[in-house]
Structure 1
């Protein structure tokens, strides 16, 4: 199917997800409406044929069915030859208050494609302006391949609103997939400042970079960090040798995709059961989940091992400690817990039965 100007994406242009309707459905709908107006007008004139006269023939006579169809056609198309006219008072009133609005509706259908394009552009501009006005502290995902889609799905499954996620990708295929998933998209190269500004990187809370190449990841990380010195940047690289370079570029967290997959493959080979557990932890919605939650008032002063959740780490003063380290033998106000819990529970929520308890940092 050839690419049309309306469907072609402009680099750096923000595109919000929209409802997609089949063009054949739209065409059929318009044709049925046009035929319906024509048939209704024909019946209106034919049933009131006594109020019309045909002045175009040599002998004036009342209109018949072909005359009524002819009058309806030339009237709705605004041709109006004047050979058939309403002569009765009620017929003229019907023309003024019924047939004239039908004529306007028929004309709107004839030029509906142009009007729809203009209206769509206007609505899109309004939606983008409204989106930018209310967008703040959102998440930008650079690249919408396998890793980008998985990151977006994980964010949504963990309570992040789809409207607060923006995808940056130069591919029209990725644009269509992101729109299908209900996400806003900025098409363009993520290493360009203008493209990232359109995505609102300068006031984004987090930026996830999943570029296909490590050199692109480095450049995108540098550009994002220059535009927003405080945002939290998570970057994915293919090779472990590039991790220090990406960190120096400004990434707060770097994930090595090839090493992670390699470790999982190795674990699955050495211990199939351990590999199955690790895969379970990485799969959302089934079995076990790794989650981070706030500390509850009732948990202050306790050891991590004594809590109902399986605590594997404690976050204190922005630093992560293993649950067995002496520094966190007693939990303190402001701590956050990294836990393993059933997938059926909300990852960010306290344990069931404690949802009404006060969190430690709110007491």
Structure 2
């Protein structure tokens, strides 16, 4: 299937071609025509499935079609769980909007930056990408109202509930006009979503994209059993010996992330950390430095890693294992994307071995195990 068959205008098709999108992903094939029909949507799709473009493109089409009746009010609200995801979606909107005949102003708002700074940019914004907390901050200062909203998008709704935003979301829903189109995306069919779905969606079109488990075949998985004291030297040895120019290293806590970055730098490896305790400026700068190759290593916690979207990431290392097998698959799925191969490495201490067996069982794949204590790490 091609983008031409999805009901998009010529100007938007040119913008898609300019961004070098060859063919639509499965989620885009189903979601774009469904959203263009004006119906409410319930979508189940994993991060990295092409979900963002599946709602951004029909939203932009909506503005191209309404050119005769446009007024510069806030018409589209996109709610997201994290700052990084808000910025990523805003960037996608801007990149597709660049060459469109009808210009559309979008803005991402989130905590961690001065409120006044974002208030001054709100004027004439038609698409707002927001985290729930910051949106309520702006509403409380009477900087915006939601009475003209025609479309509401909840992206990663399950994650917003996990982060405790249910009360904020319920309050926001009450401020919206009753007549509007609702689009709800989540990665799972979470039972906690049922209440929101029942109150929010009216006879929705349901779209479910099965996670591409076969993509794991593109990922070479290796695990090193290692004693805790040899873990750091082994990590540095692997980065240096395999000449890793771009590697995402996952840890479980903010403290470990900062300590690991400090240790890597002391041993001649330029690294940056991204986690919830960093300022927004610091997080944005770290992500930019990693994407541009300024720092070959990005050390991330799971929460902060949402919104890190790099198409051809060659290496992922689990310095510490996540709590759930699902999170493990999500982590390693950052590599081996878009038919490109990748490598995922896990460092397994004795206390992790049982948990890693459970991860392999749930994943349905055996991972090659290497005794990391026998690896000559030298002065890494």
On whether the aligned pair clears a TM of 0.5, the verdict is no
Higher relative contact order (CA 8 A, sep 6+): 2
- TM-score, structure 2 length as denominator? 0.25
Higher helix share: 1
What TM-score results when the alignment is normalised by the length of structure 1? 0.26
